[in-house]
């Protein structure tokens, strides 16, 4: 493979797995040099019922205005009584979309308008149907975006600037007589590709066929005078708030089941719908989004994206590699790049002094920690900041949306304050406009071998 990776027959001798999610306690078996493309507990994002429960909790806590980007939702059978009251209040005139809580590719999804059409006993998501979507050439469409979480504590979120626009293959109608037409109401590629109306598009720059790139969509809308920058800003806000609403349980399971900063990362497929007023609505947060490429357009989007992901998450060489392998790799890479890949940099073992510092700052307001937290950096602080700056050098096309300039207000949304988020916030506040100054400081402390001071050594 061009990446340098090769498939292994021995299941115990691996450095990277890209596969399906596994049970949280299975993460405990990961070795220091092994990287898995999931965090424990991301079903909190990927399952439609858990996602709604998390967002609903934040709506109650911070107000619906802050989280008004998801359609009104009910989880059945638990919410059946409340849903029935809403149904009767509307006189049964609203349309609803029903979804299994853990399905993919449009399986089991349909639009309904009669009470008899709703299963009452099996697990189900019932969501208010967005009946006034933005249409292009009369067809409904949604956006598939790619979001990377490289670290859960500190939380680091990236979004890829391009993605896929997926069109329904039958022109849209709001008439209730056509509610059963899945090719009209659902935009999933796996459904519409089998339609006799489906037209493929092999050109990443073309406004044709039933699949476009997001960059092409932005160009199309901008020609019509639409402020796509405003839409993009709203989408990023949706992504950040949604992830923060699930951060607490994911962070807890990650802390319990992993022992270092290296083992986990996750790429999500986020589905967004635009309504006729250009407002973005969150549809789903997909764990394990499809990376298969059925066309040149898919390759143009997914190929560079996944290469970028690999560079950001930074796969490393295992310390147990045979000498002949190390020698071979040294001929391909800078020796300094190899010797800097020390497992101790990923350990989450704190000295008593480091624990005391974290306990001191964790309860401070932003104005109280912003300057002081960087005054006396600990070895663990330094290792955290090294990871942060190292990732920034590999960002390339991905946009870092948290932490980022003017993102500190999101810290107020976390269920509990996180010391590392505060540390990175202070670092960005001081060095975001002059990264060289911050990197110079890190290099100085590294030359003094401060980053290698650890009780784990």
pLDDT digits (tens, 9 = 90+) for 73-85: 999 999 999 999 9
User: CA 400, CA 74: separation in Å to the nearest integer?
Assistant: 33
pLDDT tens-place string over residues 382-415: 999 999 999 999 999 999 999 998 999 999 999 9
Sign (positive/negative) of CA torsion 324, 328, 329, 334?
A: positive
User: CA 67, CA 281: separation in Å to the nearest integer?
Assistant: 10
Q: What is the pLDDT of residue 317?
A: 72
Beta-carbon contacts of residue 61 (< 8 Å; ≥ 6 apart) = none
Collapsing DSSP to helix, strand or coil, 281 comes out as: strand
Pick from 106-115, 242-251, 375-384, 431-440: least confident: 106-115
DSSP 299: H
- Is the confidence at residue 320, as pLDDT, over 60? no
Collapsing DSSP to helix, strand or coil, 337 comes out as: helix
Question: Measuring CA to CA, which residue among 138, 38, 174, 424 is closest to residue 30?
Answer: 38
| Tokens 């115990």 sit on residue | 12
How many Cα atoms within 13 Å fall on the side-chain side of residue 434? 5
pLDDT tens-place string over residues 54-64: 999 999 999 98
Q: What is the mean pLDDT of residues 228-256?
A: 98
More confident residue, 329 or 402: 402
pLDDT tens-place string over residues 114-157: 898 888 888 999 999 998 999 999 999 999 999 999 999 999 99
Q: What is the mean pLDDT of residues 316-342?
A: 53
- Is the confidence at residue 338, as pLDDT, over 90? no
Q: What is the overall mean pLDDT for the chain?
A: 89
Contact in structure between 363 and 354 (CB atoms under 8 Å):
no
Q: Which residues pair with 269 in a beta bridge?
A: 146, 286
Beta-carbon contacts of residue 411 (< 8 Å; ≥ 6 apart) = 366, 417, 421, 422, 425
More confident residue, 142 or 196: 142
Percent of the chain with pLDDT over 70: 91
More confident residue, 389 or 102: 389
CA 378 to chain centre: 30
User: CA 300, CA 219: separation in Å to the nearest integer?
Assistant: 17
Question: Measuring CA to CA, which residue among 442, 441, 440, 409 is closest to residue 425?
Answer: 409
| Tokens 């009910």 sit on residue | 74
Residue 90 tokens read as: 């509307």
């Amino acid at each position: 493979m061009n990446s340098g990776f090769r498939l292994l027959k021995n299941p115990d001798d691996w450095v990277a797995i890209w596969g399906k999610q596994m049970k949280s306690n299975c993460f405990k078996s990961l070795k220091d040099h092994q990287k898995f493309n999931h965090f424990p507990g991301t079903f909190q994002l990927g399952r439609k019922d858990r996602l709604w429960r998390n967002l609903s909790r934040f709506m109650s806590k911070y107000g619906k205005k802050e989280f008004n980007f998801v359609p009104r939702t009910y989880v059945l059978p638990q919410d059946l009584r409340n849903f029935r009251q809403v149904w009767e209040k509307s006189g049964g005139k609203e349309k609803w979309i029903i979804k299994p809580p853990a399905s993919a590719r449009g399986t089991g999804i349909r639009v309904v308008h009669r009470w008899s059409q709703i299963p009452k006993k099996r697990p189900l998501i019932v969501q208010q149907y967005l009946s006034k979507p933005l249409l292009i050439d009369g067809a409904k469409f949604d956006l598939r975006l790619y979001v990377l979480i490289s670290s859960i504590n500190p939380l680091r979120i990236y979004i890829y600037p391009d993605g896929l626009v997926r069109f329904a293959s039958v022109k849209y109608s709001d008439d209730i007589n056509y509610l059963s037409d899945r090719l009209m109401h659902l935009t999933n590629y796996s459904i519409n590709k089998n339609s006799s109306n489906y037209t493929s598009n092999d050109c990443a720059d073309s406004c044709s066929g039933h699949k476009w790139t997001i960059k092409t969509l932005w160009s199309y809308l901008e020609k019509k005078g639409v402020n796509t920058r405003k839409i993009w800003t709203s989408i990023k806000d949706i992504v950040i708030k949604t992830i923060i609403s699930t951060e607490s349980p994911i962070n807890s399971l990650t802390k319990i089941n992993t022992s270092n900063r290296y083992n986990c990362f996750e790429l999500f497929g986020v589905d967004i719908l635009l309504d006729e007023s250009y407002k973005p609505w969150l549809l789903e947060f997909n764990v394990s989004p499809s990376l298969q490429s059925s066309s040149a357009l898919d390759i143009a989007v997914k190929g560079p994206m996944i290469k970028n992901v690999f560079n950001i998450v930074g796969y490393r060489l295992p310390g147990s590699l045979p000498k002949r392998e190390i020698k071979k790799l040294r001929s391909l890479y800078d020796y300094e790049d190899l010797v800097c890949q020390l497992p101790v940099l990923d350990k989450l073992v704190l000295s008593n002094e480091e624990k005391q510092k974290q306990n001191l700052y964790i309860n401070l307001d932003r104005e109280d920690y912003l300057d002081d937290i960087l005054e006396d950096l600990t070895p663990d602080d330094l290792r955290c900041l090294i990871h942060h700056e190292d990732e920034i050098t590999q960002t390339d096309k991905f946009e870092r949306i948290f932490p980022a300039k003017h993102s500190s207000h999101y810290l107020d949304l976390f269920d509990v304050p996180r010391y590392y988020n505060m540390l990175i916030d202070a670092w960005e506040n001081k060095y975001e406009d002059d990264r060289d100054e911050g990197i110079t400081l890190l290099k100085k402390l590294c030359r003094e071998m401060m980053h290698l001071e650890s009780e784990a050594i």
